[in-house]
Amino acid sequence: MARILILNGPNLNLLGTREPEVYGTETLADIQSLCEKTAQPLGLTVDFRQSNHEGDIVSAIHEVVKGGFAGIIINAGAYTHTSVAILDALLAVKVPVVEVHLSNIFRREEFRHHSFVSTAARGVICGFGSQGYALALQTFVKKG
């Protein structure tokens, strides 16, 4: 079974407690559960993590090779728009990366329109809430 590392960045642990009009009412635990349920019939397993610390996210990305992960799904939160360190780590590990955002970052403030993560990503899914994570998992299913 292919293992997929799902990384969540700062403040995503607050999901479901504030700003439901932007991020919905689901908690991060709900999204983890959705990912686990989605992954199983697709023949994937997931390692679902969240950190508020940039260096922890960089270190988690480094684990991809040792951990035998087939790919990364990442919602880097606000670090999306600021972190060259996360971009460099993603470029270094050479596994497929899918970038996910709950909100449509292009309908929001201008500073959210640029993503460093996108430079390393095979694709980007944004604006579909938690469904974006399920869609991202489907991209790791081998066809044919």
Residues labelled as active-site residues: 23, 101
Taking CB under 6 A as the rule, does residue 75 contact ligand CA2? Answer: yes
Nearest approach, Cβ of residue 92 and ligand CA2 (Å): 22
Decide whether 2 or 78 has the Cβ nearer to ligand CA2.
78
Q: Which of 91, 57, 59 is nearest to 74 (CA)?
A: 57
- The DSSP line for 74-140 is EE-GGGGGT-HHHHHHHHHH-S-EEEEESS-GGGS-GGGS--SGGGG-SEEEESSTTHHHHHHHHTT
Cα–Cα distance, 82 to 23 (Å, whole number) = 20
Taking CB under 6 A as the rule, does residue 115 contact ligand CA2? Answer: no
Q: How many residues does the chain have?
A: 144
Binding residue for ligand CA2 (CB under 6 A) from 78, 85, 95, 135?
78
**Which letter does DSSP use for residue 34 in this model?**
H
Taking CB under 6 A as the rule, does residue 23 contact ligand CA2? Answer: yes
**Which letter does DSSP use for residue 69 in this model?**
-
Decide whether 104 or 138 has the Cβ nearer to ligand CA2.
104
Taking CB under 6 A as the rule, does residue 62 contact ligand CA2? Answer: no
Taking CB under 6 A as the rule, does residue 121 contact ligand CA2? Answer: no
Binding residue for ligand CA2 (CB under 6 A) from 103, 116, 121, 133?
103
Binding residue for ligand CA2 (CB under 6 A) from 4, 5, 6, 15?
15
